[in-house]
């Protein structure tokens, strides 16, 4: 497939080829695409004899730890100014706010991403909002460079594609992505292992908090929208971690008739909000109106206020969307 950004892809390949030290950064609260695409690139670069690391600011979610092969550091082991810093799957600098300085210390900086509205904060930017996952861009990059995809790289990229497409269900799942997944099956990776590690590997604490959130779910706008929350008290009560609440919003969207689903998450110092839509609502626009961003069918925002105030703002945004939507019909 001819890509509109094939020139920048070539420039990125030559920047990677020319670098000896590479710091990879992905967003905080990593998901499978963030960590899978980072692990794949780190593995490839180390295989090429380079010093590469993934610099983290928080924990790797339990169901993604199988992808880590000592790629991650919390204190950089590289020179303060590495040859190259690569941001993967980061729609904006605030997605890795504690490491912005480390990123900008790179002699050269690259930004590879698929979030709408990415402000192109790198020196070299490859941003494709139509791509279903950053993992697909990393796959295309590796293939264009002629680097070999072995089993370890294959499973990391497959994890990236599978998670960001909701197991190849979302409308972003295009033919190119399915062909890439098929090609990754030739890498020798164990596709079933990836699926069971990621999806059939929950701690009972996770199931417990999912149950409470589903029980507390409420319907808005006559069942057109669904809303629930995760509070600090629920985390204490169940022993679950915030990273174990990622699937809840998918459950909320899964209800027949629901177009828009929202999960409000109370963190110690702020409130985060995950938004999903099924067919047509542009949740990236709603998230943007609340100070966040993302994709048309999956987006998020962070609010510096209490849970009650955040919930009120979110409800107002949902009701406004429903009213506007009714006017269009
Ligand atoms: Mn992604």
Q: For the domain covering 6-199, report its CATH number.
A: 3.90.1640.10
CA 38 / ligand 1 centre spacing (Å): 11
CA 27 / ligand 1 centre spacing (Å): 10
Residues 135-156 have pLDDT tens digits of 999 999 999 999 999 999 999 9
CA 160 / ligand 1 centre spacing (Å): 8
Reported confidence tier of residue 4, pLDDT bands at 50, 70, 90: low
Query: CA angle 96-131-252, nearest 5°?
Result: 75
CA 255 / ligand 1 centre spacing (Å): 24
Q: Domain extents for the chain? A: 6-199, 204-328
Please tell me what DSSP assigns to residue 40: H
The answer, yes or no, to whether residue 329 has pLDDT greater than 70, is: no
Average pLDDT taken over every residue of the chain = 95
CA 34 / ligand 1 centre spacing (Å): 6
Other C-beta atoms closer than 10 Å to the C-beta of 215 total: 8
CATH architecture of 204-328: Roll (3.10)
Reported confidence tier of residue 1, pLDDT bands at 50, 70, 90: very low
DSSP string, 183-209: HHGGGT--HHHHHHHHHS---HHHHHH
For residues 158 and 182, the answer to whether their CB atoms sit within 8 Å is no
Q: Do domains 6-199 and 204-328 have the same CATH topology?
A: no
Average pLDDT over every residue of 218-240: 98
Reported confidence tier of residue 21, pLDDT bands at 50, 70, 90: very high
Q: Compute the CA torsion angle 76, 29, 62, 16 (nearest 10 deg).
A: -50
Residues written for the chain: 329
């Amino acid at each position: 497939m001819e890509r509109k950004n094939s020139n920048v892809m070539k420039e990125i390949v030559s920047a990677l080829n020319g670098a000896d030290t590479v710091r990879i950064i992905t967003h905080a609260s990593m998901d499978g695409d963030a960590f899978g695409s980072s692990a794949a690139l780190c593995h490839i670069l180390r295989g090429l004899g380079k010093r590469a690391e993934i610099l983290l600011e928080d924990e790797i979610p339990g169901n993604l730890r199988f992808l880590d092969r000592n790629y991650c550091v919390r204190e950089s082991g590289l020179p303060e100014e590495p040859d190259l810093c690569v941001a993967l799957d980061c729609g904006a600098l605030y997605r890795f706010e504690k490491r912005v300085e480390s990123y900008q210390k790179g002699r050269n900086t690259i930004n590879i991403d698929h979030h709408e509205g990415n402000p192109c904060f790198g020196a070299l930017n490859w941003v494709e909002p139509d791509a279903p996952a950053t993992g697909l861009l990393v796959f295309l990059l590796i293939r264009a460079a002629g680097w070999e995809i072995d089993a370890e790289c294959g499973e990391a990229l497959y994890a990236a594609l599978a998670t960001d497409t909701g197991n190849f269900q979302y409308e972003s799942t295009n033919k190119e992505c399915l062909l890439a997944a098929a090609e990754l099956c030739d890498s020798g990776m164990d596709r079933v292992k990836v699926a069971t590690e990621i999806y059939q590997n929950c701690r009972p604490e996770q199931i417990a908090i999912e149950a409470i959130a589903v029980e507390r779910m409420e319907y808005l706008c006559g069942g057109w929208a669904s809303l629930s929350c995760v509070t600090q008290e629920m985390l204490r009560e169940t022993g679950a971690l915030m990273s174990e609440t990622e699937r809840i919003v998918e459950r909320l969207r899964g209800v027949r008739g629901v177009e828009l689903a929202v999960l409000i998450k109370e963190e110690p110092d702020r409130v985060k909000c995950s938004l999903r839509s099924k067919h047509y609502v542009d949740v990236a626009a709603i998230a943007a109106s609340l100070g966040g961003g993302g994709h048309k069918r999956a987006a998020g925002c962070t609010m510096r206020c209490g849970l009650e105030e955040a919930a009120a703002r979110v409800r107002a945004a949902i009701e406004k969307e429903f009213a506007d939507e009714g006017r269009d019909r």
